[in-house]
Structure 1
Amino acid sequence: MGYSDVVFPRGSKFLVTGGAGFIGSNLCEALLKLGYRVRCLDNLSNGDYENIKPFIKNTNFEFINGTITDYEVCNHACKGIDYVLHQAAWGSVPRSIEMPLYYEEVNIKGTVNMMEAAVKNNVKKFVYASSSSVYGDSIALPKVEGIEGNVLSPYALTKKVNEEYGKIYSDIYGLQTIGLRYFNVFGRRQNPNGAYAAVIPKFIINLLNNKTLVINGDGKQSRDFTYIENVIEANIKAAASSSNITGEAFNIACGNRESLNEIFALLKSELMTDIAPIYGDDRIGDVKHSHADISKAKLLLNYSPDWDFQTGILETIKWYKGLLYEEN
């Protein structure tokens, strides 16, 4: 593991918001394995109780069923906490276009509630999930922090605003904040269902079930797909980083990119199927290509992603195969 040598003070306690979700539950699991105390805050609107069920009997784990849109809940959740890993948010660009008010309420107000509660409870470090979507219509590749375009969706705007609040809470209120711009995270526990499901789990589940699937656009759009273990490493190293690194945002990715057509071909080969995709319309608000420059995170966070796309996708396939086996 790229983070197994990171050490926090004895008795350190972490709060993971959105801890029953895809990324959050993986963070909870990793921290518990490292021997730390973990409090999970989630209202299960996006998260799944099944994701945290294996931890419930662990004496180092605590679950609070509550929402980040309620400041009192946030304040209660931050009591006695040393480090906050803030993952709670509503994702999906197309859904945000349909529900802008809800995204404002959850992603912006909820994040400010958490930052305020962290200040009031003397939290040492506040690490929060940002997104590659903040680069908007910038066509520059690779994406470099500080060279952003105009955002293309309410979701992207909420993440941009989160970063501005991260700077404000660092500069004015002394909260040590670090934003992590995730680039298309994938891996175990990612939800493959629903209209807004991420592309990799949806592809895998459809192919495992011999179902046709739709690729939006021509399939030539590319993304810097990032395996979940790299994101865990980034969060843990960000929480342990120097106090001089605050108010900043960092690209968290592999530093490569794959097109949807390339991914589909790889999955077809690995799963030994001859299913052909159906090509649909481009999605409103989507960028054509995304590729991260991760040199800033390497330099300042000691981020060193061990998992390349190929290794991560094989592990992901294995996990979803096991999931289908359990269901059947």
Structure 2
Amino acid sequence: MRKKILVTGGAGFVGSHLCERLASDSNNDVYSLDNYFTGSKDNHVANVTYIEGLTADIDKLIDFAPDMVYHLGEYSRVEQSFDDIEKVWKFNKDGIFAVLEFVRKHGCKILYAGSSTKFGDGGLGRSASPYAWTKATNTELVQNYGAWFNVPYAITYFYNVYGSREIQTGKYATLIALFKEKMKNGEPLTIVSPGSQKRNFTHIDDIIDGLVLVGENGYGDEFGIGSPEAYSIKEIAEMYDGEIQMLPERKGNRMTADVISAKTEALGWKPTRTIKEYIEELRAYNWK
């Protein structure tokens, strides 16, 4: 039986990998809705229909009833969200309301990509930045739509995703890719003080395995998808063996986050890649 699957943010880092995996199943018709804020047409993959626009306009842009919506298309940077608060509201708050109304209208399941920042620093991280707050309150709204309107949902949480198609340069670059570019260019690795903040870096392949598994079999909240191994940012930089340059502390920079992967593991998921192996691979290929 054929399935119509919509991925918001399908031209982004995680979304493009999810589209690629879903489209590899000949029984799926896969669609992407992306505003290309951080997504790129370079991330387009075969057998996916691409639609450009805001999630806030989903009801105007999507003229079919999907069987499943993977809602990944939101603003997703912590420190930058202080300067981008209008974009954060438009993409995260206006967007989630429109998407939830859309899935309620069509009676389909939604998988919402929440943010592990809400578990940071013993729960204090949920209000530490505009990004963290919008994501934390969005998970509550998804849960409420489930209770109020019987919308079937699952909520996942990623932990510091790395791998191919990461944003490598500019304001929205992610850490692992940024360090790779700096090593390739002979530049120092910049670390936001104090450097002891810990992260659970998780390979994109493991994230996609979890997303598909939870999308098909998971219902409810707290489906964390994260490596159990935590490293400080300074420890990660030391794995690259490059020059380190410390930067001043910044707002919203959490120190720790608990990985809550028990429900995902109960479905049969487990991580298969480690950040240490990945950095060794990058070194072997001369940071390419």
Kindly indicate whether residue 94 of structure 2 is the aligned counterpart of residue 122 of structure 1: no
Question: Are residue 267 (structure 1) and residue 251 (structure 2) matched?
Answer: no
Q: CA deviation at 1:81?
A: 1.1
In structure 2, the CA distance between the partners of 1:149 and 1:217, relative to structure 1 (3 Å rule), is closer
Instruction: Select which of 176, 185, 188 maps to 1:200.
Output: 176
Identity among equivalent positions (%) equals 29
Q: Aligned match of 2:159 in 170, 180, 183?
A: 183
The whole-number CA distance in structure 2 between the counterparts of 1:17 and 1:255 is 28
CA drift at 1:213: 3.0
1:20 aligns with 2:11: yes
| 8 Å CA contact 2:222, 2:260 repeated in 1 | no
Q: For 1:310, which of 276, 279, 288 is the aligned residue?
A: 276
* Partner residue in 2 for 1:325: none
TM-score norm. by structure 1 comes to: 0.81
Distance in 2 between residues matched to 1:318 and 1:174, nearest whole Å: 51
Matched ranges for 1:160-309 at <5 A: 160-241=136-217, 245-246=219-220, 248-268=221-241, 275-299=242-266, 301-309=267-275
* Conserved 8 A contact 1:135-1:151: no
CA distance in 1, matches of 2:16, 2:62: 17
CA shift in 2, pair 1:25/1:37, >3 Å: same
Alignment partner, residue 47 of structure 1: 39
> Would you say the 8 A contact 1:256–1:291 is kept in 2?
no
C-alpha displacement at 1:313, in angstroms?
4.0
Are residues 1:63 and 2:50 paired? yes
Q: How many residues align?
A: 287
CA distance in structure 1 between the partners assigned to 2:252 and 2:88 by the alignment: 15
Unaligned runs of 5+ in 2: none
| More off after superposition, 232-241 vs 306-315 | 306-315
The TM-score normalised by the length of structure 2 is: 0.92
Cα deviation for residue 231 of structure 1 reads: 1.1
Distance 1:65 1:174, change over 3 A: same
What amino acid is the match of 1:51?
N
Structure 1 vs Structure 2 CA RMSD? 2.1
